[in-house]
Amino acid sequence: MDAPLRHTDDGHGLWRYAGLIEVRCPRCARAGQVRARRDSHEVRFACAGCGLRAATMSCCGLHAAQGDWFGPVRAYGRRPCGYCGHQWLGVNRVYPGRPAHAPQRVNVRCPACKRDSEVEVRMHPHRGAEPRDPHLGLPLRLLEPTRHGLLWAYNAEHLDELQRYVAATQRERLRSAGNASMISRLPAWMKLARHRATVLKALQRLQARLVEDDDAPALAAQPGQARDLSRAARRRRG
């Protein structure tokens, strides 16, 4: 009888994999990487295809302080009613991208006195459930839909950890791990034994895509080899 495959959750968070994130350029869709230096809190992206460059300075792990942002933004503000003063008025709107003309103030009607007051708002990066890099808001490169939900990973190391967890038939968690670890935050459908085969196949497709995209630039000048690589990738997915 084969020994069970074991996986131990040591409590590390998603931040462990945020130093290098595989993304797609928002301008030309070419594969690229967001690199974050922990020593200087500097984050940079440079597209080898169209030349797009982006950078930001980050603080507190995944939260950007200033710089470029390509993902959704949230307009947020609140204040007491300017007339009755007894009711807080708030604005909390999410935009798919930074508006060309971002509002600085928004009129909000007080539900108590029925009069409008201006609420000053500020724009903030919105890190919701969308599969984007947390530094610059760029779309992730490693995405794979399944019939149970969307599977994604930041990089090869993150992908390997997910594979080891999903494949494990015996899963453990250190007492010190708590409930904020990357593993504990995985969606329930990824943790079910009956979904193991489906999820592992999807993770294998992501691994193949990572290799395919890495080889594509080198074969760009050799169309025949590029076509062969594409066909091989399609056979692996099938």
pLDDT in tens, 171-228: 999 988 878 899 999 999 999 999 999 999 999 999 999 887 665 554 333 444 334 5
Asked if residue 74 lies in contact with residue 94, where contact means CB atoms within 8 angstroms, the answer is: yes
- Note whether 157 and 228 are same-domain residues: yes
103-160 confidence digits (pLDDT tens): 899 999 999 999 999 999 999 999 887 899 999 999 999 999 999 999 999 999 999 9
Q: Answer whether residue 103 is part of any domain.
A: yes
- Taking residues 158-171, report their average pLDDT: 96
pLDDT at 231: 52
**Can you tell me which residue has the tokens 């076509």?**
227
- Note whether 65 and 77 are same-domain residues: no
- Note whether 25 and 119 are same-domain residues: no
**Can you tell me which residue has the tokens 């930041």?**
154
Decide: helix, strand or coil at residue 53. strand
- Note whether 39 and 81 are same-domain residues: no
32-80 confidence digits (pLDDT tens): 999 998 777 899 999 999 999 999 875 544 444 468 999 999 999 999 9
What domain range includes position 165?
6-69+131-237
Asked if residue 102 lies in contact with residue 75, where contact means CB atoms within 8 angstroms, the answer is: yes
User: Which distant-in-sequence residues (6+ apart) come within 8 Å of 208 by Cβ?
Assistant: 233, 236, 237
- Taking residues 76-94, report their average pLDDT: 92
pLDDT at 24: 96
Phi, psi of 126 (to 5 degrees): -105, 110
Taking the CA atoms of residue 157, residue 161, residue 166 and residue 168 in that order, the dihedral angle to the nearest 10 degrees is: 130
Phi, psi of 14 (to 5 degrees): -65, -25
What is the Cα–Cα distance from 148 to 95, expressed in whole angstroms?
A: 27
Residue 102 — very low, low, confident or very high, per pLDDT cuts 50/70/90?
confident
Q: Answer whether residue 1 is part of any domain.
A: no
pLDDT at 4: 80
pLDDT at 215: 56
**Segments in 168-215 forming alpha helices (H):** 188-191, 196-215
pLDDT at 213: 67
Q: Classify residue 228 by its DSSP letter.
A: H
- Note whether 167 and 212 are same-domain residues: yes
* Apex 21 CA angle, 18 and 22, nearest 5: 160
Instruction: Report how many domains make up the chain.
Output: 2
What is the Cα–Cα distance from 176 to 52, expressed in whole angstroms?
A: 42
**Can you tell me which residue has the tokens 């090869």?**
156
Phi, psi of 229 (to 5 degrees): -65, -40
pLDDT at 208: 94
What is the Cα–Cα distance from 101 to 96, expressed in whole angstroms?
A: 14
Asked if residue 42 lies in contact with residue 52, where contact means CB atoms within 8 angstroms, the answer is: no
Q: Answer whether residue 185 is part of any domain.
A: yes
